[in-house]
Structure formats: C-alpha cells, structure tokens
Amino acid sequence: MKEREGIIVGGIGCLLLVTWLGFLFHRSPQFPGSAVGFLFGVAATILMLAPLAYLISKRIPFLRARITPHVSLQSLLTIHVYTGILGPLFAIIHTGHRFDSLLGITLTAVMLLVVVSGLIVRYLLRYVAHEIKDKLLLLQTARGDLDSAWGVLENSPPEMRGLPKMHFLLASLASLGFEAPVGGPAGEVIRIADGVANLEYAIRTHELFKRWFTRALNLHIILSVILYLLLALHIGSEIYLGLRWLQ
C-alpha cells in the first residue's frame, strides 16, 4: 500500500512539475476568469484546505479525541498527502500560466515549496529513519562478530597474531585504497572492524540527513501558514475585484 502511494504521489508530483513548467510554452490570460478556470480554482481551494484536518487533529488534543474515533490519523494523513498534491495541481491549471501579479507569483512559489517540503518529510525522512534502524541492527551484529573475532585472535598462538606479509602488488593496491584480502585471525579482525567503521559512518551521515529533514518539517509548517495567508489574500482580492466589476 505504501509503495503504491509513493508511486501515485510521485507520478502526480512529476505531472505538477510538468504542468508548472508549461508557462514556458503556453499562456492563457483569460482562462482563470472563465467558468472552467473558476471551477478549477474552487476545487484547488477546497483540496488545499482539506490537509488542515490532519494538522488540526494531530496538534489539538481536544479535537483529536473527537475526530479519531471516526477517522484515524493514518487515514487523515493519507487524505493530507493526496489532497496536498492534487490541490496545487488544480491551482496551476487554474492560473492558465498567467503569472502577472506579485501576489500570484508568490502564492505559486510558496505552494510549490510546500509540496516539495511535504514530500521530503513524508518520504525521505521516513526512508532515512528506516535506514538508520536497519543499520543499527547490522552494527549490533557486526560488533558481536568483532568481539568474537577479537577473542579468536587473543587465543591464537603468538606467531599467528600478526598480519601476514603481503605480496608487493597487493600492498600497492591496498595503499591506493583497494581492499586487499588478508588472511589469519588478525586479518579477520581488520576486515570486520572496517565494516563496523563503515556502518558507524553511514549512521552518522543518515542522522545528519534526519536532522535536516526534521527541519524541513518545521519549514513545511511555516510555509503552509504563509500559503493559507496568501490564499486568503488572493481570494479576498478576487472577491473585491468582482464586486467592483459588478458595480
């Protein structure tokens, strides 16, 4: 199910990117004010307001206690993901690629940043968290293997505790960074220790990514607030212009 969600959302995300880049080849200034353009705008607004249900339910315990018995947080999150990417797609279609006003351009830019930051939080952060979990399990096993190999080395005869001499060619390859096979208990300790060091480095790198992606969550929330403010200004300005036109 999660893999299917990733494929669907990824496909819609690519379609959103292609639709946005359509301004390079297409421009329809009259479309946003047409009946069809208006319907796309209304649908985009409704879809972009739907993600608030998950945000409110997750952040406000009083409402969560009353909503979750009927709709689970996981279902609300799924709705949050799909509507959060379909709404911007409909909004881009609504614009007709008429990016004339500063408000419209800013609203579109913030909307796309919200989508990108949301996808990072939803998929990349989860992927990194799973990678850290898997590598921690591997590291625990590797450290056990290292302790066992070290015990074998300590119980070996003194003449077997040193590293065997390498052939000149193998030593040259090892100096260049290529892995050269080393036999004996000491060689086994070195091989496992090298694997442990690589796992520890990978975990530290993934933890760095996790911290950055966690910041992306805060950025996603801030950008979402800005998006709703700009959306309110956009709707208000359109209503104001419409009333002036009727007068």
DSSP, residue by residue, 166-232: PPHHHHHHHHTT------HHHHHHHHHHHHHHHHHHHHHHHHHHHHHHHHHHHHHHHHHHHHHHHHH
Over residues 134-161, the pLDDT tens digits come to: 998 988 888 888 888 777 767 766 655 5
Q: Which pLDDT belongs to residue 232?
A: 92
Q: Residue 225 domain-assigned? A: yes
Same domain, yes or no: 33 and 100: yes
Angle at 210 between CA 205 and CA 216, to 5 degrees: 135
Residue 44 has pLDDT above 90, yes or no: yes
Same domain, yes or no: 24 and 118: yes
Q: Residue 172 domain-assigned? A: yes
Select the more confidently predicted residue: 208 or 168: 208
Same domain, yes or no: 92 and 168: no
Round the average pLDDT of the chain to a whole number and report it. Answer: 80
- Phi–psi pair at 43, nearest 5 degrees: -65, -40
Same domain, yes or no: 86 and 14: yes
Same domain, yes or no: 223 and 113: yes
Same domain, yes or no: 41 and 159: no
Same domain, yes or no: 181 and 142: yes
Q: Which alpha helices (H) appear in 99-183, and where do they start and end?
A: 102-119, 125-154, 168-175
Q: Residue 73 domain-assigned? A: yes
Q: Which pLDDT belongs to residue 173?
A: 42
Select the more confidently predicted residue: 69 or 166: 69
Same domain, yes or no: 22 and 56: yes
Question: Are 110 and 227 a contacting pair, CB within 8 Å?
Answer: yes
Q: Which pLDDT belongs to residue 243?
A: 56
Domains in the chain, number:
2
Report the C-alpha gap between 89 and 135 in whole angstroms: 37
Select the more confidently predicted residue: 45 or 27: 45
Q: Residue 222 domain-assigned? A: yes
Q: Residue 59 domain-assigned? A: yes
Tell me the mean pLDDT in the region 51-79: 84
Report the C-alpha gap between 240 and 126 in whole angstroms: 43
Q: Which pLDDT belongs to residue 183?
A: 55
Confidence category of residue 231, pLDDT binned at 50, 70, 90: very high
Most confident range (mean pLDDT) of 39-43, 162-166, 206-210 is 39-43
**Nearest to 124, CA basis, from 48, 234, 13:** 13
Tell me the mean pLDDT in the region 196-214: 87
Q: Residue 239 domain-assigned? A: yes
Q: Which pLDDT belongs to residue 228?
A: 93
Confidence category of residue 175, pLDDT binned at 50, 70, 90: very low
Same domain, yes or no: 91 and 16: yes
Select the more confidently predicted residue: 161 or 126: 126
Residue 220 has pLDDT above 60, yes or no: yes
Same domain, yes or no: 158 and 176: yes
Select the more confidently predicted residue: 152 or 246: 152
Tokens of 11: 């496909």
Q: Which pLDDT belongs to residue 176?
A: 46
Q: Which pLDDT belongs to residue 152?
A: 72
Same domain, yes or no: 99 and 28: yes
Same domain, yes or no: 120 and 22: yes
Tell me the mean pLDDT in the region 177-184: 52
Q: Which pLDDT belongs to residue 170?
A: 41
Over residues 94-116, the pLDDT tens digits come to: 988 887 788 888 999 999 999 98
The range of the structural domain enclosing residue 219 comes to 2-126+214-246
Q: Residue 209 domain-assigned? A: no
Q: Strand locations in 38-98, DSSP E?
A: none
Confidence category of residue 209, pLDDT binned at 50, 70, 90: confident
